[in-house]
Structure 1
Amino acid sequence: MLKSIWAVTQKGAAGMLNQALGLAEALFNGGGFGLPQSFEVEYRWPYTWAPMHPAFASLNALTPENRALFGDQPWPDVLITCGRKSALWALAVKKASGGRTTLIHIQDPKASPRYWNLLIVPEHDRARGPNVLISKGALHRVTRLKLETGAEAIRQEYAHLPHPRVAVLIGGNNRYYTLDEDWMHGFVAQLRSMCERSGCGIMATISRRSGEAETNILRGGLASLPAALWDGKGPNPYFGFLGLADAIVVTCDSVSMISEACSTGKPVLVAKLPGQSKRFDAFFDSLLKQGLIQWFDGRLMQWDSRRLDDMDHIAQDVRQRLGWI
């Protein structure tokens, strides 16, 4: 019988959901699992402030509307969570299932690893232990097949853009970095300089965290350039942009987006935002030393890069650690 598998993250955390779903899909593709289901959970007060400990784990942590999403279906055989807020609810599910549900958590939950069956953390996180797997970057859903099929689906639509083609991935504000109007004006000037110097075409996309004012500045700046912008309306061409791109420019606020860009094996240029994070700095330093990224300064730099792809081995390591092989 196929094992059931859920990917669960906190509401609105698209990057975290991509990580959990990426691992769930990799396990599914390896056989032995049913089609993954995904959910986004939302805590109610006071559980938003509860310590990360099984004693505080409760199914009542979720809002009534959020709990209703799960219906009366049985708890899954495997629950994959990502991000601290979903980690506590995973402990509640394990208690409710009588210990039957296997817990896999992605990222450091800032608690003892022994509460979960397996942790997967990037090397710039601190968690370590016998049940902890270390990844170079963030897990993701990007695969060669998705890049190929995504590129083929939009090839004619973007055939008018000149080569080389550059995918530009825009994030937004978080607690470490600020993406504001002043920064966007400067970034648009850099993109214009890149086009004038290299004759490249631009395929740009925003994220959920991109502000409306900043998106309007980007849209206006790209209007006079050989460029296309996906602004959140219509089918998302993200995989297609990555597949068609000869190089990628990505803002520095998202380990997930940078990891996805690096998984393509194409040159990745990281655009700095105001702010700083020691964890992010350690991640950047590692990629710089491996020759996987360069800082973006308005020039299109291209070099022979290689793929950074933890997904090639993490799913296999999970199967081995948990005795599924």
Structure 2
Amino acid sequence: MTMKPILLPEPQSPTSRGVPDIFEVGFSGSFVRRAVVIGNGFPASENQSLGLVRALGLADQHLLFRVTRPRGGINEWLHWLPVSLHKKFDYLIKQIILLTSRRRKLVPLPLENGSHPVGLGSVLEADVKRIVAMARNTYEKDGPLLLVACGRDTISIASSIKRLASQNVFVVQIQHPRSNLNRFDLVITPHHDYYPLTPQAQEQVPRFLRTWITPREPPDRHVVLSVGALHQIDSAALRSAASAWHDEFAPLPKPLLVVNIGRPTSNCRYGADLAKQLTTCLLSVLVSCGSVRISFSDRTPQKVSYIIAKELGNNPKVYIWDGQEPNPQMGHLAWADAFVVTADSVSLISEACSTGKPVYVIGAERCRWKLTEFHKSLRERGMVRPFTGSEDMSETWSYPPLNDTTEVARRVIEALAERGWRLRL
């Protein structure tokens, strides 16, 4: 069974479309040559920051710092606390345990930003003072510092650096910080984050709770809106992955269907019911598939993965990745002819849609709140279709690939130019 290959368009340079050339004659401003990424330890969040840095051509000129929280036990229920307060609470709990069990003396609590109390792992912690000093002390030699952060736990760190070194840094915050957007130079967030401000959303939320819903006001000049999540996937990355995974994927019978299964979330709840629905649909389309490769998230519930493995694990057309390295995700994106993705994961769906290949979503009817807006947006653009089990996988369709990261990079370059700064690539 043969399929007509889909040719991906070459990615446009973020510096095209009228953005001033970074080597413009007569330019007297500063050049941005380096970046700092503030991560929160979650791959989905850090991947967004790294994807933007890559699109800006700074993949080899960046440093990664992390904001870390205590893990395990009661800490898993305390993520609603500010990071600094969470660490102090964790420290006190550990000291109480030490005092009651071993009669040890209290150890002074480190209060400096970037230090961490007893019990935390040895991590390169995001340190406001250290990063501010680096930005100031190296400004004359190395130019301004681009800082990219993503996730709620990074907000206070990024905004503090902006406040203390505003003349030396350009701060980009990915994911909506809820309020006071002027704490950052740019905020990158998807359109569906503004769903809470729509009339239909307002009807679903009691008035006294509305001030706690992100965001609190419409987007202003600080905000750049995307369709989905940023990531590191572009045509160059796919070509490289196609070469790297050639020996494993080239011999597989076509068409190759890749199935990515995430995990239930507060806005997309499911369990064994969706697993059974998915296996039924996959069994229905197997006749038109040459090969099927299934990947689970590291947080996919066991009851979901068990049902799918039990029903499909022994089928000769099906391969289920066991979670061991290397992760085949890049190979899947490069070699797949079509994708099936569970509706919970904005990141997985965004990556699949960046290929321009057919993307089928299962479970969208179980989503609520702003995730419904995300799926509606993709359907209207012709990027996704519901997975029903009646599809013929030998028939293909395409669309302009989702190109959020490149578009956002272009907006960052424009904003830098307004400051009189240019990228030095």
Which amino acid letter does the alignment assign opposite residue 128 of structure 1?
Answer: P
Structure 1, residues 159-192: CA drift from partner, whole Å, max 9, x if none?
A: 4532111111111122212342332132122111
Q: Which residue of 1 is the match for residue 140 of structure 2?
A: none
- Mapped to 2, the partners of 1:115 and 1:258 lie a distance apart of 30
Q: Secondary structure at the match of 1:49?
A: coil
Taking structure 2 as the reference length, the TM-score comes to 0.67
- Mapped to 2, the partners of 1:16 and 1:41 lie a distance apart of 12
- Mapped to 1, the partners of 2:61 and 2:323 lie a distance apart of 27
Alignment of 1:91-240 (within 5 A): 91-95=159-163, 97=165, 100-126=168-194, 127-196=218-287, 198-220=288-310, 221-240=312-331
After TM superposition, give the deviation of residue 147 of structure 1 in Å. Answer: 1.3
After TM superposition, give the deviation of residue 97 of structure 1 in Å. Answer: 4.5
Q: Which residue of 2 is the match for residue 286 of structure 1?
A: 377
1:84/1:169 Cα in 2 relative to 1: closer, same or farther (>3 Å)? Answer: same
Which amino acid letter does the alignment assign opposite residue 200 of structure 1?
Answer: G
The percentage of aligned residue pairs carrying the same residue is 30
- Mapped to 2, the partners of 1:145 and 1:98 lie a distance apart of 34
Check whether the contact 2:66–2:124 (CA below 8 A) recurs between aligned residues.
Answer: no
- Mapped to 1, the partners of 2:377 and 2:296 lie a distance apart of 26
- Higher Rg: 2
Q: Secondary structure at the match of 2:153?
A: helix
Structure 1, residues 32-74: CA drift from partner, whole Å, max 9, x if none?
A: x8522334422469995349xxxxxx97487444785148675
Greater Cα shift, 271-280 or 60-69? 60-69
1:298/1:38 Cα in 2 relative to 1: closer, same or farther (>3 Å)? Answer: farther
Give the superposed CA RMSD.
Answer: 2.8
Higher relative contact order (CA 8 A, sep 6+): 2
Check whether the contact 2:249–2:335 (CA below 8 A) recurs between aligned residues.
Answer: no
Runs of at least 5 residues in structure 1 that lack an aligned partner in the other structure: 52-57
Check whether the contact 2:162–2:170 (CA below 8 A) recurs between aligned residues.
Answer: yes
Check whether the contact 1:165–1:244 (CA below 8 A) recurs between aligned residues.
Answer: yes
1:143/1:22 Cα in 2 relative to 1: closer, same or farther (>3 Å)? Answer: same
Aligned residues: 314
Which amino acid letter does the alignment assign opposite residue 315 of structure 1?
Answer: A
- Mapped to 1, the partners of 2:170 and 2:236 lie a distance apart of 29
Q: Which residue of 2 is the match for residue 54 of structure 1?
A: none
- Mapped to 1, the partners of 2:34 and 2:295 lie a distance apart of 34
Which of the residues 296, 300, 315 maps onto 2:387?
A: 296
After TM superposition, give the deviation of residue 238 of structure 1 in Å. Answer: 0.6
1:21 aligns with 2:50: yes
After TM superposition, give the deviation of residue 208 of structure 1 in Å. Answer: 2.4
After TM superposition, give the deviation of residue 269 of structure 1 in Å. Answer: 0.5
- Mapped to 2, the partners of 1:276 and 1:158 lie a distance apart of 33
